[in-house]
Amino acid sequence: MFLSDRHATIIALAKQHGRVRVTDLASHFNVTPQTIRKELNELCSQRLLTRTHGGALFPSGIENMEYEARRRIAADAKDAIGRAAAGIIPDNASLFVNIGTTTEAVSEALLSHSGLMVITNNINVANKMRAYPALEVVIAGGVVRGSDGGIVGEAAVDFIRQFKVDYAVIGASAIDQDGALLDFDFREVKVAQAIMANARHVILVADATKLERTAPVRIGQLAQVNTFITDRCSSEALRSICAAHDVRLIETSVFEGSQGD
């Protein structure tokens, strides 16, 4: 189920202001407070907002959103980012694909490739790609995270270190203005760091909402990646980092019309 336009606007307002109020939203959309309360309850049941008396809060940066809820955020933007990333990766290449809903969009766009060797710690990616005989899928061992099918922990790190691949496709839960790539689970971060260290070309995929979020654990720096693909980058600070460190910045909204939220 995708978010309605009104739900998406409510989330955007909550993200901008930190919270939304029933009375303000009712006036904004010219609907009854009862309608807004019902819609806030729906969004909160999906863990997209946190209900409070008289309104709702945008979720705190110290807790990640449920997998299905994250998958619906910026879905069109993630599809466009996935297609752009797949366009960089040639047939007969080896690559890592990390945990994340945007990296899963990349794996979807890679299904028409042939001769790929895909090493992943994402059960969803492995399950999607395994049915295609032109693709070889190798899955890491370790602790399976029940929330999203990610494989994390020291066993996964040791497994990743056995390889040296052509490309790595990684995501991040947040990107700070100083270029820090951030996530929520330190176990996942260790795997992501191993992936970055063992790939010749690192592709970071992240939609514009990640530039507005925070997370507590550092993966690395934007300067460490080779290509950064997003729907749009409104941050001059991040643009400057890309320019200074020869990071190729691709904005899919320029040629796909993706809106991000």
| Structural domains present in the chain | 5-59 (1.10.10.10), 73-256 (3.40.50.1360)
Supply the pLDDT for residue 217.
Answer: 93
Exposure string of 29-60, with b = 16+ CB inside 10 Å and e = fewer, is: eeeeeeebbebbeebbebbbbbeeeebbebbe
Is residue 261 over pLDDT 80? no
Q: What is the pLDDT of residues 68-121, one digit of tens each?
A: 666 667 788 999 999 999 999 999 999 999 999 999 999 999 999 999 999 999
Q: How many CA atoms lie within 13 A of 128 on its CB side?
A: 21
- The whole-model pTM stands at 0.75
Q: Using CA atoms, how far apart are residues 151 and 122, in angstroms rounded to an integer?
A: 6
State which amino acid sits at residue 35: T
pLDDT for position 23: 94
CA torsion sign for 227, 206, 258, 12 is: negative
* Residue 62: band (very low, low, confident or very high) from pLDDT cuts 50, 70, 90: very low
Answer yes or no: is pLDDT of 63 > 60.
Answer: no
- The DSSP output letter for 210 is G
How much is the pLDDT for 18? 77
Tokens at residue 207, please?
Answer: 């939609």
- pLDDT tens for each residue of 210-260: 998 888 999 999 999 999 999 999 999 999 999 999 999 999 986 554 443
